[in-house]
Amino acid sequence: MTTDQLPPIKGFLETSLLDWPGHVCAVVFLPYCNLRCPYCHNHRLVLHPDTLETLSLESVLARVAARDEWIDGVCVTGGEPTIHRGLPAMLEAIHEAGLRVKLDTNGTQPEILKHLITKGLVDTVAMDVKAPLDDALYERCAGVYVPASLITSSIEVLLRSGIPAEFRCTAVPLLLKEGEIFRLAEDLRDLALQCAVSNLPKLTIQNFNPADPMDPALKDAAPFDEKVLSGIQKDVDAILDAGTGSI
């Protein structure tokens, strides 16, 4: 595959301490997404990537190489990376440069996710899970219809893969009630039981930032109080620990 068939890179961070917990990584941002989450803060990347400069993978890897003594790998995020046909070639090139890969995904492409893992093209994955595994609830939070079965399949792929994986959910009080967050944790627990995983899945609850959401109506929406969110996280942890502690 030629370089012009690789996914366009529309953003680059030389170093991040947040995108790959426990690691120092570079971050590349790929454009476009097949979802329209109302709370998305990367909507310029999703809707108007043509207004952003395009960077070549070669230039990005050269900048990472200058810091290779303390960069652990590259986080590939978006947008949604798995909608790009050239993603496998990009990840292969990153690996060939001697760098590990973390992939951020929305989990709507389970077959592609499975292919990337089977081919050894990703070292760890973070999957954003928008809502409990129910079609109507998922559509509400994703902004478009998404069969929950696709999300279920991606979760199962990750649980069975053996590679490090984390699950994340952005909590928007107007879209997702506390009980629905707990229902999502129960869904994840039940899938972990079905897959008989040896490692406990983790679901991190992230707070909504109303500063610049895709849906302007959410600019006036209040996020969860941090103390309330901390309590929700503890309850989510308890649901998952109770469900998988004996596996």
User: Is 68 part of a structural domain of the chain?
Assistant: yes
- pLDDT recorded at residue 2: 54
165 is a domain residue? yes
Split into its structural domains, the chain has a count of 1
Q: Give the tokens for residue 57.
A: 């993978």
What is the predicted pLDDT for the residue at 116? 98
| pLDDT of the chain, 247 residues: tens digit per residue | 455 589 999 999 999 988 888 889 999 999 999 999 999 999 999 999 999 999 999 999 999 988 777 888 999 999 999 999 999 999 999 999 999 999 999 999 999 999 999 999 999 999 999 999 999 999 999 999 999 999 999 999 999 999 999 999 999 999 999 999 999 999 999 999 999 887 778 999 999 999 999 999 999 999 999 999 999 999 999 999 865 443 3
pTM: 0.93
**Domain range for 205:** 3-239
Does 247 map to a domain? no
Helix (H) or strand (E) holding 16: strand 11-16
- Cα–Cα nearest to 242, from 185, 158, 178: 185
The C-alpha R_g of the chain, in whole angstroms, comes to: 18
Q: Is residue 246 part of a domain?
A: no
Find the CATH number of the domain harbouring 77.
Answer: 3.20.20.70
pLDDT of residue 5: 86
Strand order in the sheet with 165-171: 11-16, 25-29, 73-77, 100-105, 124-128, 165-171, 203-207
Q: Could you give the CA distance from residue 54 to residue 234 in angstroms, rounded to a whole number?
A: 41
Beta bridge partners of 127: 105, 167
Q: Which two tokens mark 1?
A: 């595959």
244 found inside a domain = no
CB 79 within 8 A of CB 46: yes
Give CA separation, 24 vs 70, 124, 239, in Å. Answer: 7, 14, 31
- According to the model, what pLDDT value does residue 66 have? 85
Q: Residue 245 falls within a domain, yes or no?
A: no
In our burial notation (b when 16+ CB lie closer than 10 A, e otherwise), range 168-182 reads ebbbbbbbbebebbb
Closest CA to 182 of 129, 113, 235: 235
Nearest to 106 by CA among 75, 85, 129: 129
Q: Is the dihedral of CA 111, 44, 129, 8 positive or negative?
A: positive
Q: Which helix (H) or strand (E) holds 229?
A: helix 226-244
∠ CA 188-109-183, nearest 5°, is 20
**In a domain? residue 156:** yes
